[in-house]
Amino acid sequence: MFWLWVKYPENYFRSRYQPFSNNYHQFTGQDFSLIRQVVQLRKMDPLANSCTTGIHIEGPFISPEDGPRGAHYREFVQSPDWELFKKWMEESEGLIRMITLSPEWEGSAAFIEKCVESGILVSIGHTNASHAQITEAVKAGARLSTHLGNGMHSIIARHPNYLWSQLAAENLSATIIADGFHLPAEVIQVFKKVKGEKLMLVSDSVALAGMPAADYEAAVGGKVTLTAEGKLHLFDNPKTLAGSAMNILQGVNFLLKNKLVALPEAWQMVSIRPQRLFDTHFDPFQFGQKADLILAEQLPDQTLKIFKVLKKRSKNTARLTQT
């Protein structure tokens, strides 16, 4: 099993104070039902169609090792399979836009090249790849690191290692999880200094986001524990996180409250920068450009309080949504 990562409108999920939620869904390689459900939802609902901009497949072509594998199930991890991936693309009707993989597998470079030729963004993540393998992956067309600093061994060689290799790769942008549990503030500071405008924020939010503290059976990791502080980890291993139980706004607020970035940059990290991974010429301030606008207040502690979301539905109309 592995994760199908979809951006859905806030209306469909519990997570409040954000216009979009990133939600994980788990399915096996030959089970296309969830991909079909997303495709059907977009056809049935205009709002879902406008908000569901793509599918991110995270796995199963990742490292089989404990640590880099994270909460993914070992039995479903496998080497890159182009014929299988083509079936997913066909079922998605072109909705798959991105895949996370580990280039430690033999044949990874050729697989990456085929993805790039098909318009798929390739990201490196959940990896135990060598420096040479990461360099080869970037040369083949990989352009991103998925939640850099996570999906790793708890202890790694001081050098060389796959973290240094990804930080050193100038052509690799990077996403990070800023929920206060995945990365400490000082690590984010270092990543920001190295990656600069290539650094972006993701929520890594799973279905338990917004739920009360308790033990749960989850698609991500099986039996998990959600603490009162919001940390989500494997039930029998508090050191292994099972995704995040926080939303993207909470990530933005973590950056702002800890003075890691100013508001304009924090907003770009969750909007313009990710969009430009798929559309390098994207400019939200052109006449006639579709835009989602958010009305918010910046509080004394620098965090944001969202009041309203303007969802652009057509060239001349907009819908106002109270959140």
Instruction: Supply the residues annotated as catalytic.
Output: 204
C-alpha distances (whole Å) from 249 to each of 101, 253, 321 are 27, 6, 17
Q: Which two tokens stand for residue 241?
A: 């996180």
Q: Could you give the CA distance from residue 243 to residue 79 in angstroms, rounded to a whole number?
A: 23
Q: Which two tokens stand for residue 9?
A: 């409108």
Q: Could you give the CA distance from residue 37 to residue 4 in angstroms, rounded to a whole number?
A: 12
What is the per-residue DSSP string for 158-178?
Answer: SSS-HHHHHHH-TT-EEEEE-
Identity of the amino acid at 315: K
Q: What residues form DSSP beta bridges with 201?
A: 176
Helices vs. strands in the chain: H and E counts, helices first: 10, 15
Reported as type and span, the H/E element at residue 240 is strand 237-241
3-state SS assignment for residue 270: coil
Is residue 264 within 8 Å of 314, Cβ to Cβ? no
What backbone torsions phi and psi does residue 239 show, to the nearest 5 degrees? Answer: -80, -15
Q: Could you give the CA distance from residue 202 to residue 54 in angstroms, rounded to a whole number?
A: 15
Reported as type and span, the H/E element at residue 101 is strand 96-101
Q: What residues form DSSP beta bridges with 5?
A: 24, 56
